[in-house]
Each structure stands twice: as C-alpha cells, then as structure tokens.
Structure 1
Amino acid sequence: MTYMVMTKIAPPPGAQAVAGLRARARTARRIALIALTGSIALLCAAQLLAERAAGTPAALPLAVLALALFLGALPTLAITQAVWGARARETRRREFALYAASPASPLRPLSRPAMACGWALVVLLGGALPPLFADAGQPTVATALARAITVACAVACSGAGACLCLWWARAARGMPPRAGRSGGSPGDPWDPGPGAHRRRGAVLWAGAAVAVAALLGARAHFWTPPTLLIYALLVATFACMVVTDE
C-alpha cells in the first residue's frame, strides 16, 4: 500500500523541466565529444595518408584536405563546447533553484582539462600541416602556412588559456553545495538518467578512444600500420561514437 501511494506522488514543480534540461545537457556533451574525437581521428588519418602519398599526384589534394579539416575543426569544437557549457550551466542553476543542491559528479572536474588536452592535440596536428605541403612540392605555401599557424596558434592558445582559467575560477567560486555521496539531487526519482545505457556507452567510448590513440601513435611514428588499417581505425572510431547513446 505504501508503495502504491508513493508511486502516485506527483513530482515537485520544475522536476520534469530539470529532467529535460539534463537530457539536453547530455546530448550537447555527446555532440561535443563526437566533434572532438572525430576531428582528431580525421586529422590523423588525413595527415597519415598525405604523408604516405609524398611525391605522388595525390599528395597535394590530401594536404589540402588535411588543412580544410583543421580549419573546419576549430569552429566546430568552439561551437559544440560552448553549447555544452551553456546547457550545463543552465541545468545546474535549475537544479540548485529546485533542490538547493547539485549532483556530485567525480568526472566533472576532469571535463575541462580533458577538453583542453583535446584542443592541444588539434593544435599540434595543425602545426604538422606545413611539412605536408613541402612534401607535395609547395614550399612557398608551406612557409606561409607555417608562419600563419604559428602566429594564429600562439594568439588562440593564449586567449583560450586565459578564458579557461577565468571560467574555472568563476565556476569554483560560484559552485553550489553538492549533494551527498549518493551523487544525486535529493528527492529526485523522476530522472533516472542514462541508467543501463551507461556501461555500454562507456565501453563504446573506450573503443573509440583506443582507435584514436592508435591513430595518434601512428601519426607520431610510434608504429606504422598499413593503409587499410588506418581506414579501419577511422571507421571504428565513428562507429563506436554513432552507436553509443550516452
């Protein structure tokens, strides 16, 4: 009888809205992670193929493709991560207004350093573009590109570092009190969260991370995979990210 009565209790005003905001924040996080992981994988694969095509007619088109991917990755990462941050902040504000507590997540403090490391990898891959044009028989383009990337990356990295520090300091100063060790907002049974999908999503994301690490290792010349394996790793990365719903 007690169970039947409790199941009929309506959620407090705003609980369903908070559940919707959490779902939107999770979707934005997933899109941002797909953009970051996919950008690194595509850049590695394109640069590996361009490097192997040095001295052939395909070298220049592949170098141009790698440059286009780099130029497209920067705004994509900025937009997707900005949307994720905005939705996460809105969710935390509504949680604090409704529950006077925000769910404790042990991985939340690691999200910003992880994204910063991802940006650093993209920047490093961008710095490896000029030699591809030199190997493709375009030394003038390679020299101009090296200067442009050096200046642009220096300015962008300085600005991004300053913004990250300010963002982190503001978040640490205005962080609301967290809930207990259970990790959930008190009295909130109406938003079960990912639930059973979490373990499968973690396995798939781990598979994508392994594939990207293999591509990065090949780009750093730690090992030399065959061309077909490069394509297979790229396909595996996107397959894992598309299949997961977490």
Structure 2
Amino acid sequence: MLLTEMAPPPGAQEVAGLRAGARTARRRAFVALCASIALLTTVQVLADRATTREQALPLAVLSLALFAAALPALAVTQYVWGARARRLRRRERELYAVARSGRTRPLSRLAVACGWAATLLLGWTVPRFFRDAALYGFADALSWAVEALSVLSAAAGVLFLLWWARDAVGILARVLRPGGSPGDPWDPGHGTRPREGAALWTGAAVAVAALLGARAHLWEPATGVIYALLTAALVCGVVTDE
C-alpha cells in the first residue's frame, strides 16, 4: 500500500487542525498588534501637526479611544493564541512525547512584548494632546492614570523578562536533548505555507517602523506619505490574515 493511501495515525488529523488553529490565532494577534500601533501612531503624528485647538481636540479624543480599544484587543487575541498553542503542545506531547511547535516561541513573545511596549509608550503621551487642546483638567486626570499604569507596566515587564528567560532556557534544553518528534506527514499545513506571507509581514513591519520613526521625529514625512504607510500596514496585515 502506498504511503498516500495509508490511513493517518490516530490523532494526526487532530494535530493538523490544532496547528492550523494556532497559526490562525497567531496571525490575528499580530494583525491586532500591527493595526493598533499603526493607527495610534498615525493619529498622534497628525495631532502633533495640528495648529489649532479645534484641530487638536478630535485627534486627541481619537487617540485616547484607540488606546483604550487597543489594550483589550491585544489582550484577547494574545490570550486566544496562547490557549490554542498550549493545547497544541499538550496534544503533541501526548502523541509524540515531544512538542514540535514552539521553538520560535521566545522570538515571537519578545516581538509581542516590544509591540506592547510601543503601544504603552504611545498611550502615555495621550495627556499632552489634551493639553494642546486646552483641556488641562482632563489632561491632569489622564496623567495620573498614566503614572499608575506605568508603574504596573514596569512591574509586569520585569515579571515577563524573568518568565521569558526561564521559558527560553527550557526550550533550548529540549532542543539540545537527543531525539525529537517523528513529524506528521499527514499534516496538510506542514511545508505548504505561502512564501508571500513572509514578504507581507516584512512590509507591514517596515511600514509600522516608519510610522514610529515619524512619531519619534526621526524623519518628517509628508501627510500623504503617513496615510500611505498606514494603508500599507493595514493592507499587508489583512492580506496576511486571509
């Protein structure tokens, strides 16, 4: 009997489905992160260029709304990603005694942490836009909230670094251990990922980095270029997600 005519081993189809679900959750988490940073950065760059109170106020409100929406969106999408990845690793260990997935987990987690840091730093500048709009009382209240959030964020960052280092060392030890997963030749997703995905993610990352550079005043692009970069980041993310 040919290999292609043999029935897949028990659990192979389930693992294939779990891998597909984990990849989908990962893509959605990165799309949410990319879109949050791109939108928030674009609005703040435009708010920086506002010349009157009437122009600054709507952009300040939009910046606050985007920041408030970004935090739960990032938390939910990343929680779903983590839950599906843990379920996949448990099933892989049950079938193969070794979890094939997860070797790039430290890098992806570090990238997500950098995204969180960028989002929080952008959010901490929101009170200044309300001061520019002459809403000083509201800006002072936001500043107090930002200070409290910054303390919590710093504590969470220290805990993350400790947890990340422990997890990275554990993964490295498992990689160096002899033996490994026999693989799953019946997995329809293995080895068939479109190469265009890497190019699209690279394009989105470059666009977001360019927007962050403009927000940090490392360069001063025209307003049309800002909108083009935002469009590129969102389009690359959406196409990649599909």
User: Taking structure 1 as the reference length, what is the TM-score of the superposition?
Assistant: 0.88
Instruction: Please tell me the residue identity of whatever aligns with 1:11.
Output: P
Q: Distance in 1 between matches of 2:231 and 2:171?
A: 42
Query: Are residues 1:215 and 2:234 paired?
Result: no
* Aligned amino acid, residue 202 of structure 1: A
Shift of 1:163: 5.2
The aligned length equals 242
Q: CA shift at 1:188, angstroms?
A: 1.0
For 2:234 and 2:181, how far apart are their aligned partners in 1?
Answer: 34
Partners of 1:102 and 1:178 within 8 A in 2 = no
SS at match of 2:195: helix
The letter for the 2-side match of 1:9 is: M
Provide closer, same or farther for how the CA distance between residues 165 and 35 of structure 1 changes in structure 2, counting only shifts above 3 A: same
- Which range moves more in the overlay, 197-206 or 102-111? 102-111
How does 1:161-180 map onto structure 2 within 5 Å?
161-162=158-159, 165-166=162-163, 169=166, 177=174
Gaps of 5+ in 1: none
Q: CA deviation at 1:170?
A: 6.2
**In the TM superposition, what is the alpha-carbon distance from 1:51 to its structure 2 partner?**
1.4
Pairs within 5 Å for 1:42-61? 42-61=39-58
Q: What SS is found at the alignment partner of 2:99?
A: coil
The equivalent residue for 1:224 is: 220
What letter is aligned with 2:149? A
Q: Distance in 1 between matches of 2:177 and 2:9?
A: 20
What does residue range 54-203 of structure 1 map to in structure 2 within 5 Å?
54-103=51-100, 106-159=103-156, 161-162=158-159, 165-166=162-163, 169=166, 177=174, 185-193=181-189, 195-203=191-199
Q: Deviation string for 1:60-82 (max 9, x for gaps)? A: 01100000100111111111111
SS for the counterpart of 1:193 is: coil
Cα deviation, residue 126, structure 1: 0.9
Q: Which runs of 5+ in 2 are unaligned?
A: none
Of 234-243 and 53-62, deviating more is 53-62
CA distance in 2, matches of 1:46, 1:90: 38
Q: CA RMSD in A?
A: 2.6
Match of 1:222, SS state, is: coil
- Distance in structure 2 (CA, Å) of the matches to 1:142 and 1:54: 18
